[in-house]
Structure 1
Amino acid sequence: MSFISNFIDKLTKMGAYLSAFILVSLVSLILIEIFIRSLFDMSTMIADEYSGYFYLASIFFGLAYTFSSDSHIRINIITSRLSKKVNRKIDILAALITLAVLAFALYRTALFTYDSYSLEMLSENVSETPLYLTQLAMPIGITMFMLAVVLFIFKGFTND
């Protein structure tokens, strides 16, 4: 179990680093666009499109780490008044519900990405980027998030 736990922890950290790198790339792209527009009165023609792609990818790659580091927003008006044992049971139940929702989201995003791939869909913008490449971040990020939730559930059962 320790090996799997360490693997999932490293995977979620890798997702966080990738998310941070993508955010830095997003900011750099916007700054380059501003610089080119103000000095040369030109445009990269892809800044709007790719900033959306980068933003989507940074969110999905960062979900697992955000969950594993307890950074998601939690409303604990009721659970703060309960015992730790009851709190743990509620957390496990909520994690199981989360896992079911994520399984559905994974199925739909994987299907969406596959459809884009099989239909050879391209961006309507100048870049004509294959859309499946930009959509891959969704099922990959959700899979990483699901692994983090599964680890959370196992830790809840083992009182870790």
Structure 2
Amino acid sequence: MQIQSASVEDYILQIPEDRQDVFRKIFETINDNLPDGFSQGLSYGMIGWAVPLETYPAGYHCTPGSPLPFMSIASQKNFIALYHMGMYAKPELLDWFVEEYPKYSKRKLDMGKSCVRFKKMDDIPLELLAELSKKMTVKEWIDIYEKNFKKK
């Protein structure tokens, strides 16, 4: 389910009402805790944070001419999804998150390679998401991206 919108606020207003408050809290938690240098915007039908082209002119190899994506949040049909490319690319960060998750939530972690799914709106581990958001700088993300993903 992709939400087509012109702004973050418009995106949030299109989310089912019972999810809007918690989605806004997730957005604010990430936005307030990411290190300087990431830009926030809409891409791929989600709200996302990326390394802007001014900082990394090479951009994203999958979509030439676009900023290098880092984190995104989306309202899907049955859950809120958090995508964090750093966890996908840096096993130590993924291990940290998996180990910490039970300390912040009584729910079982529902996760794919870079996607965390939140199905119950009453148990979103905002403190953990704040910590996760702080864990990787723009420079570290670019270095990891170039090492692991960028086509040579």
Per the TM superposition, whether the score is higher than 0.5 is: no
Question: TM-score, structure 1 length as denominator?
Answer: 0.28
User: Which has more helix, going by share of residues?
Assistant: 1
Q: More relative contact order in 1 or in 2 (CA 8 Å, sep 6+)?
A: 1
User: Which has more strand, going by share of residues?
Assistant: 2
Question: TM-score, structure 2 length as denominator?
Answer: 0.28
Greater C-alpha radius of gyration: 1
